[in-house]
Amino acid sequence: MNIGIVCYPTFGGSGVLATELGKALADKGHHIHFITYRQPVRLTGFSANIFYHEVHVPTYPLFDYPPYESALASTMVDVIRNNQLDLLHVHYAIPHAAAAYMAKCITRQEGIRIPVITTLHGTDITLVGRDKTYTPVVTFSINESDSITAVSENLRQETLANFRVEKPIDVIHNFVDVRRFAKKAIDAFRKVIAPEEERIVLHASNFRKVKRIEDVVRIFAGIRQQIPAKLLLVGDGPERPMAEELVRQLGLCDDVRMLGKQQDIEDIFIISDLFLLPSEHESFGLAALEAMAAGVPVVATDAGGIKEVVIPGVNGELGSVGDVQGMAAKAVAILQDPAVLEKYRSGAKAQAQHFDISLIVPKYEEVYERCLRASQTA
């Protein structure tokens, strides 16, 4: 198939999932056309089956805000026309689903039937999409999609509860390439971070408010009071300055490293002992799944779809949003006993196997084939 994939090119979960999906589909022989305003961060290396089409947004003094959605729709039309696309798969409803609908209408006038699959990822539904400014457009564009998928059952339920969706929503969970994380830790790298064999605690995100970065730092402070430990903070975003100031206030500068955005995240996961994800809400928690693939247990909040990934007592522990002390205690209980930590590590790896890329990608192919059959008989 010739498949167009529209996504955000950033470190966020939707962009990572879309890029990894495209790469996996390309490995299976499909021709993948990424359409976005910048090359996705995970789109590295060369593949004969992957093509990248950049969306250029002209700037004019007339516009206070460049019309990205119009430029995106026009680029979609151009790629559909000139590359004989079979379908469009758009990730994150805003504004991709609406732009795809516009492209679909334009090409339909030329006799081209292009199915659109929309994958809902989380804040496009739970945060931004529920804003009254966007709700009518989000609802309309979701309903005009030929197929809708959500990355967790929790997100499917939230979508149905907050939007008048008239079509079924298929749950296709996020996935991880387990082989990518099945690496041996580099002892020298770990020694640099934890020279006295301290436990290494990790958090990786886009540092938005919903991730509760303050709680990450305070949970670590509670861990540090009980056992020697180091904290690695991977990523960047609006909450980073606050986190840096809090680290200084709590006297943790010697024990916390801000690593910024990182490409080879698996090299960091495999030297870590625990992953913290105390978010306000997680529709799935892709970073937690990647941690588990590396054998790293997770302490997270029980908010949203994370409960579909983390099994308390097996591969991690769950706490209530804002319960810093409780989550710190759960973390210490995992980290302080090597035998307990090893049990959780084994559980993490076993759980990740259920979400391996080899099991999930065929589910998307089934959706594609179903949409193509329906389009051909319409």
The tens place of each residue's pLDDT in the chain, 378 residues long, gives: 999 999 999 877 888 899 999 999 999 999 999 999 999 988 888 889 999 999 999 888 888 888 999 999 999 999 999 999 999 999 998 899 999 999 999 999 999 999 999 999 887 777 665 678 888 898 999 999 999 999 999 999 999 988 899 999 999 999 999 998 887 777 888 999 999 999 999 999 999 999 999 999 999 999 999 999 999 999 999 999 999 999 999 999 999 999 998 877 889 999 999 999 999 989 888 899 999 999 999 999 999 899 999 999 999 999 999 999 999 999 999 999 999 999 999 999 999 999 999 999 999 999 999 999 998 876
CATH superfamily of this structure's domain 178-353: Glycogen Phosphorylase B; (3.40.50.2000)
Q: 58 by DSSP, 3-state: which?
A: coil
Going from the C-alpha of 9 to that of each of 96, 145, 350, the distances in angstroms are: 13, 22, 30
CA distance 306 to 106: 39
Q: What is the DSSP letter of 46?
A: -
d(CA 155, CA 276): 21
At 65 the pLDDT is: 84
Residue 105: the pLDDT is 96
Q: Which fold has domain 2-174+357-377?
A: Rossmann fold (3.40.50)
| pLDDT of 124 | 77
Q: Judge whether 3 and 33 are in contact, CB under 8 Å.
A: yes
* DSSP code, position 105: H
Q: What six digits make up the tokens of 9?
A: 């090119």
Q: Determine the pLDDT at residue 128.
A: 63
pLDDT, residue 127, reads: 67
Distance (Å, whole) CA 31 – CA 23: 10
Residue 98, Cβ density class (10 Å: 0-12 exposed, 13-18 middle, ≥19 buried): buried
Amino acid letter for position 156: R
Say whether 178-353 and 2-174+357-377 share the same fold: yes
Would you give the DSSP letter of residue 29?
Answer: T
Which regions of 261-362 does DSSP assign to beta strands (E)? Answer: 274-277, 298-301, 316-319
**Sequence ranges of the domains in the chain:** 2-174+357-377, 178-353
Burial tier of 137 (Cβ tally within 10 Å: 0-12, 13-18, 19+): middle
Beta-ladder partners of 169:
148
Give the predicted TM-score (pTM) of the model: 0.89
